[in-house]
């Protein structure tokens, strides 16, 4: 047995800022029954009071009701323990009620699962302040906290909510069960204990909805993919063309392997763009044309060469082929004419010596001018000789005028023969001149001047053709002179030629014979009738030759020329031998 | 940031509700700081010097007491509560100034104690001006000269005896904390009455 131990005041708390309670821990009791008593005094007061209520708050406690509570004062509290052996007192505790407030936890906690418009779920938590506290008057100002966790979790998730009494919790897992608690604290004091625990389970309906949404999305996307694949399959070619446009081929024309294989050169050339060149057929034609042109030229050149060579080469052999090639045709006609004339003409043996004489005497060409003077007396002699046929061969050579007559017959035979006849006449004239060359030197010089022009003409075949025409004029004059002297002989060839070519009738022949008889008569009797007869004959010839359109012009020219010739003839008749050469010279000039 | 206000009688007046809300908020801050100051001072000086017994002296504002909850006094008009708050704040204007000016003379005083005391003084002066503005609006400019209890503790604050000075400081800080709570409670009760208990 001993006195009691020293008690200890545990804590003092005020739930509503109007009342408060203090608790103490008793010490040892000393083995004897012990009584405890609580005494207090207020600041500024010396009186000491005892606890007003030991029962309301339970054992070892003292409750101060509103009557005994002063909020704005400090309490000095002590506890005494007493037993039979003695007593002991605790240490004093100074209490300011405003600082020892600890409210009750919030009440009416409710949980509710809600959904926003976007189908998002959340937990709605709401509560009420503790009942004892008079918050509405402003005597209290509470702050709240909420804590949350899933059933399986170990740690709580705390959220401070301030003065509001409701809270929304998001990001919850469907199918989970959640636990929720709340607590509060006054503006100056201690946090209350956590309130009653509430639980709620988040349903899976939302998850089902979400899954349905995802399913719909998946199905739609699958359908879209299928449609795209189908479209691509249908339009694959066009798509490929769009993506990979065809590469343009080369525009430059080149060789084709097929053409090379086939071996078609024409197509190859066309492929190379050689269309400008003429086709092979055209080329062949061109070649042919060129060949033909060359052949024509050769043919033209050959006759000229042949004509030249025989003139300079072997005389007899060359002369023969020339006559055959170029003059063959003419000779044939001439032969025919000769055959026709053979009964009338002399044998061919006489013709040959004349041809041989021509090449021997190239200078013989010079004296054609003096021939007419000499020819005139020759003609006279000829006429006398013609009357006497049994003359010697020498006299035969003098019969060349008759050969000329034969030529005249040839001309009368055909127009082609006319050229040959003119040529033959020229040759014959040359022969005559050669005979007279030695007699007159002056005549030779004059003849030399005239012959160079003739040579130039001979080099050109067409000019050669013209040449006979040129010769035609001098032969006319020569014939005229012959006519002047021979009278009958000279007139006959002109008249016959004209008549036969223009009017191949018999009466012309009769006229010729009449003139001849006149000549003989004239020759014997008088020259004047010969000139008259010649003038009339020339006029007739000019009228026949001239075409009807140009008859007047040619007739005038012919008249002028005839007048001149007539004057010359008169002078010749007056002076006889001396006047004739002068007249001829004037005519030439 | 100060709200936009209207000027009347040379003063800046915001809306009534805004002013009251700001007053309540400011009083809460002051009350919190006062509690922190008391706790810091008590832990540094009171425990080692057993000053509590000696410091249980009445505060100079003990005559200004709020009515008890549930009593008929609780039905008092808000003007009464505002005037009570105004008197309390005015009664502490001079003592807080002396507290701030003389605390540095204590040995080993911590900077936090000094800064808290300074902050309490400044905010209390601001709150006093706010409460005056609210009273002017409610009374339409009719302001009475307020009678507030005086403070006579300056001699103790300047005493050459260390224990006497500590006793004086401890008692002053304790009383300041209590009075800041009274002002806060009074303003909150006014707010609940005027706003139809919406924010209570």
The per-residue pLDDT for range A86-144, each reduced to its tens digit, is: 988 898 888 888 888 899 899 889 888 887 777 678 888 989 888 766 676 787 788 89
> What pLDDT sits at residue B43?
83
> What pLDDT sits at residue A253?
56
**Do residue B188 and residue A134 have CB atoms under 8 angstroms apart?**
no
**pLDDT band, residue B54 (cuts 50/70/90):** low
> What pLDDT sits at residue A369?
44
φ/ψ of B164, rounded to 5, equals -65, -40
Residue A147 three-state SS: strand
Contact (CB, 8 A) for A432 and A481: no
Strands (E), A8-106: 8-13, 20-25, 35-42, 49-50, 61-64, 74-82, 87-89, 93-96
Contact (CB, 8 A) for A17 and A6: no
- How many A/B residue pairs have CB atoms within 8 Å? 63
Both tokens of A569, joined, read: 């003839």
What average pLDDT does range B118-127 have in this prediction? 92
Give chain A's radius of gyration (CA, Å): 86
**Do residue B189 and residue A139 have CB atoms under 8 angstroms apart?**
yes
Both tokens of B123, joined, read: 């905010």
Query: What is the distance in angstroms between the CA of the first residue and the CA of the last residue of chain B?
Result: 25
Query: What's the half-sphere exposure (Cβ side, CA atoms, 13 Å) at A65?
Result: 6
Residues of chain A neighbouring B35 (CB-CB closer than 8 A): 99, 188
**pLDDT band, residue A207 (cuts 50/70/90):** low
**Do residue A139 and residue B58 have CB atoms under 8 angstroms apart?**
no
Quote the mean pLDDT of chain B: 80
Tens-digit pLDDT profile for residues A354-406: 344 344 444 444 444 444 444 344 334 333 333 333 444 444 444 334 344 44
Which residue is associated with the tokens 């009584």?
A35
Residues of chain B neighbouring A17 (CB-CB closer than 8 A): 69
> What pLDDT sits at residue B26?
92
**pLDDT band, residue B74 (cuts 50/70/90):** low
**pLDDT band, residue A23 (cuts 50/70/90):** very high
φ/ψ of A137, rounded to 5, equals -80, -10
Angle at the Cα of B103 from the Cα atoms of B100 and B104, rounded to 5 degrees: 110
Residues of chain A neighbouring B58 (CB-CB closer than 8 A): 43-44
Which residue is associated with the tokens 């139809």?
B196
Closest CA to B70 of A56, A42, A16: A16
> What pLDDT sits at residue A236?
62
Statement: residue A533 has pLDDT above 60: no
Question: Which of A393-397, A454-458, B191-195 has maximum average pLDDT?
Answer: B191-195
What average pLDDT does range B105-114 have in this prediction? 86
**Do residue A94 and residue B69 have CB atoms under 8 angstroms apart?**
no
Statement: residue A29 has pLDDT above 90: no
What whole-number distance in Å separates Cα of residue A112 and Cα of residue A122? 8
**Do residue B200 and residue A76 have CB atoms under 8 angstroms apart?**
no
Contact (CB, 8 A) for B135 and B83: yes
For a pLDDT cut of 70, what percent of chain B falls above it? 77
Which of B51-69 are b and which e, b meaning 16 or more Cβ less than 10 Å from the residue's Cβ? bbeebbbebbbbebebbbb
Question: Of B56, B65, B200, which is closest to A74 when you measure between CB atoms?
Answer: B56
Both tokens of A493, joined, read: 């060839």
Q: Residue B65 to residues A70, B60, B80, B123: CA-CA distances in angstroms?
A: 10, 12, 12, 22
What whole-number distance in Å separates Cα of residue A125 and Cα of residue A170? 11
**Do residue B69 and residue A137 have CB atoms under 8 angstroms apart?**
yes
The percent helix, strand, coil of chain B (3-state, each to 5) is 70, 5, 30
Q: How far is CA A89 from the centre of its chain?
A: 128
Contact (CB, 8 A) for A427 and A467: no
Least confident of A24-38, A395-409, B102-116: A395-409
Question: Of B57, B68, B188, which is closest to A141 when you measure between CB atoms?
Answer: B188
Statement: residue A181 has pLDDT above 50: yes
**Do residue B189 and residue A99 have CB atoms under 8 angstroms apart?**
no
**pLDDT band, residue A31 (cuts 50/70/90):** confident
Question: Of B70, B184, B192, which is closest to A136 when you measure between CB atoms?
Answer: B192
Chain B residue with the nearest C-alpha to that of A18: B69
What average pLDDT does range A340-345 have in this prediction? 39
What average pLDDT does range A531-555 have in this prediction? 47
Residues of chain B neighbouring A66 (CB-CB closer than 8 A): 68, 70
Quote the mean pLDDT of chain A: 60
Distance from CA of A146 to the nearest CA of B (A): 19
> What pLDDT sits at residue A157?
84
> What pLDDT sits at residue B121?
92
- Is A386 exposed, middle or buried, given 0-12, 13-18 or 19+ CB atoms closer than 10 A? middle
Closest CA to B175 of B23, B24, B35: B35
Residues of chain A that touch chain B, judged by Cβ-Cβ distance less than 8 Å: 17-18, 43-44, 66, 71-72, 74, 76, 92, 94, 96, 98-99, 134-139, 141, 163, 187-188
Distance from CA of A72 to the nearest CA of B (A): 7
**pLDDT band, residue A315 (cuts 50/70/90):** very low
What average pLDDT does range A11-33 have in this prediction? 88
What whole-number distance in Å separates Cα of residue A307 and Cα of residue A312? 9
**Do residue B56 and residue A163 have CB atoms under 8 angstroms apart?**
no
Question: Of B31, B52, B193, which is closest to A94 when you measure between CB atoms?
Answer: B52
**pLDDT band, residue A529 (cuts 50/70/90):** very low
Contact (CB, 8 A) for A106 and A182: yes
> What pLDDT sits at residue A22?
95
Tens-digit pLDDT profile for residues A438-455: 433 444 443 344 334 334
**Do residue A188 and residue B178 have CB atoms under 8 angstroms apart?**
no
What whole-number distance in Å separates Cα of residue A136 and Cα of residue A130? 12
**Do residue B188 and residue A138 have CB atoms under 8 angstroms apart?**
yes
> What pLDDT sits at residue A62?
95
């Amino acid at each position: 047995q001993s006195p009691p131990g020293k008690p200890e005041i545990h804590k003092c708390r005020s739930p509503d800022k109007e009342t408060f309670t203090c608790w103490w821990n008793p010490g040892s009791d000393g083995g004897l029954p012990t009584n405890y008593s609580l005494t207090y005094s207020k600041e500024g007061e010396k009186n000491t009071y005892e606890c007003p209520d030991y029962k309301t708050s339970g054992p070892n406690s003292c409750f101060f009701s509103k009557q005994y509570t002063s909020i704005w004062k400090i309490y000095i509290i002590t506890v005494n323990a007493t037993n039979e052996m003695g007593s002991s007192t605790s240490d004093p505790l100074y209490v300011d009620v405003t600082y020892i407030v600890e409210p009750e936890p919030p009440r009416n906690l409710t949980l509710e699962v809600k959904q926003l418009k976007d189908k998002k779920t959340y937990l709605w938590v709401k509560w009420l302040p503790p009942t004892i506290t008079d918050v509405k008057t402003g005597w209290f100002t509470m702050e709240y906290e909420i804590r949350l966790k899933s059933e399986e979790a170990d740690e709580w998730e705390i959220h401070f909510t301030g003065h509001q009494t409701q809270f929304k919790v998001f990001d919850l897992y469907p199918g989970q069960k959640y636990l929720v608690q709340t607590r509060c604290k006054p503006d100056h004091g201690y946090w209350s204990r956590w309130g009653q625990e509430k639980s709620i389970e988040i349903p899976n309906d939302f998850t089902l909805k979400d899954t349905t949404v995802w399913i719909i999305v998946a199905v739609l996307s699958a359908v879209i993919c299928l449609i795209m694949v189908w479209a691509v399959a249908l339009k694959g070619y066009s798509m490929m063309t769009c993506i990979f446009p065809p590469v343009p081929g080369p525009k430059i024309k080149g060789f084709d392997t097929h053409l090379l294989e086939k071996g078609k050169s024409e197509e190859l050339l066309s492929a190379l763009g050689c269309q400008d060149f003429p086709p092979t057929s055209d080329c062949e034609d061109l070649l042919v044309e060129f060949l033909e042109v060359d052949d024509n030229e050769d043919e033209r050149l050959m006759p000229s060469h042949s004509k030249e060579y025989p003139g300079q080469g072997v005389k007899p052999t060359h002369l023969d082929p020339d006559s055959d090639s170029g003059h063959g045709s003419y000779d044939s006609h001439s032969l025919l004419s000769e055959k026709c004339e053979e009964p009338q003409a002399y044998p061919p043996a006489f013709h040959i010596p004349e041809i041989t004489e021509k090449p021997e005497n190239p200078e013989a060409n010079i004296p054609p001018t003096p021939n007419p003077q000499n020819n005139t007396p020759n003609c006279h002699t000829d006429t006398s000789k013609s009357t006497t046929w049994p003359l010697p061969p020498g006299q035969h050579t003098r019969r060349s005028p008759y050969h000329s007559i034969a030529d005249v017959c040839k001309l009368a035979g055909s127009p082609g023969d006319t050229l040959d006849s003119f040529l033959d006449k020229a040759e014959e004239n040359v022969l005559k001149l050669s005979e007279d060359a030695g007699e007159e030197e002056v005549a030779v010089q004059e003849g030399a001047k005239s012959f160079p022009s003739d040579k130039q003409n001979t080099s050109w075949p067409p000019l050669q053709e013209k040449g006979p025409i040129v010769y035609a004029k001098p032969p006319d004059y020569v014939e005229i002179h012959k006519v002047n002297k021979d009278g009958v002989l000279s007139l006959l060839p002109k008249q016959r030629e004209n008549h036969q070519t223009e009017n191949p009738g018999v009466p012309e022949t009769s006229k010729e014979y009449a003139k001849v008889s006149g000549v003989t008569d004239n020759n014997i009797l008088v020259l004047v009738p010969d000139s008259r007869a010649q003038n009339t004959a020339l006029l007739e010839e000019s009228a026949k030759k001239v075409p009807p359109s140009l008859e007047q012009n040619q007739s005038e020219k012919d008249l002028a020329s005839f007048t001149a010739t007539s004057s010359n003839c008169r002078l010749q008749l007056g002076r006889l031998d001396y006047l004739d050469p002068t007249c001829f010279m004037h005519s030439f000039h | 940031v100060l709200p936009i206000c209207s000027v009347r009688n040379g003063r800046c007046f915001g809306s009534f509700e805004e002013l009251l809300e700001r007053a309540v908020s400011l009083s809460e801050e002051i009350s919190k700081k006062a509690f922190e100051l008391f706790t810091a001072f008590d832990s540094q000086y009171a425990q080692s010097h057993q000053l509590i017994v000696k410091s249980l002296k009445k505060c100079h504002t003990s005559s200004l007491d709020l009515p008890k909850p549930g009593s008929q006094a609780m039905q008092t008009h808000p003007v009464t509560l505002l005037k009570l708050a105004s008197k309390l704040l005015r009664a502490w204007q001079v003592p807080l100034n002396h507290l701030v000016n003389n605390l540095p003379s204590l040995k080993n005083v911590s900077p936090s104690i000094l800064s808290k005391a300074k902050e309490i003084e400044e905010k209390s002066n601001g709150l006093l001006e706010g409460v005056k503005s609210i009273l002017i609006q409610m009374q339409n400019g009719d302001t009475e000269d307020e009678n507030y209890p005086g403070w006579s503790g300056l001699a103790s604050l300047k005493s050459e005896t260390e224990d006497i000075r500590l006793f004086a400081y401890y008692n002053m800080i304790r009383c300041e904390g209590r009075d800041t709570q009274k002002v806060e409670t009074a303003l909150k009760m006014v707010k609940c009455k005027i706003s139809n208990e919406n924010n209570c």
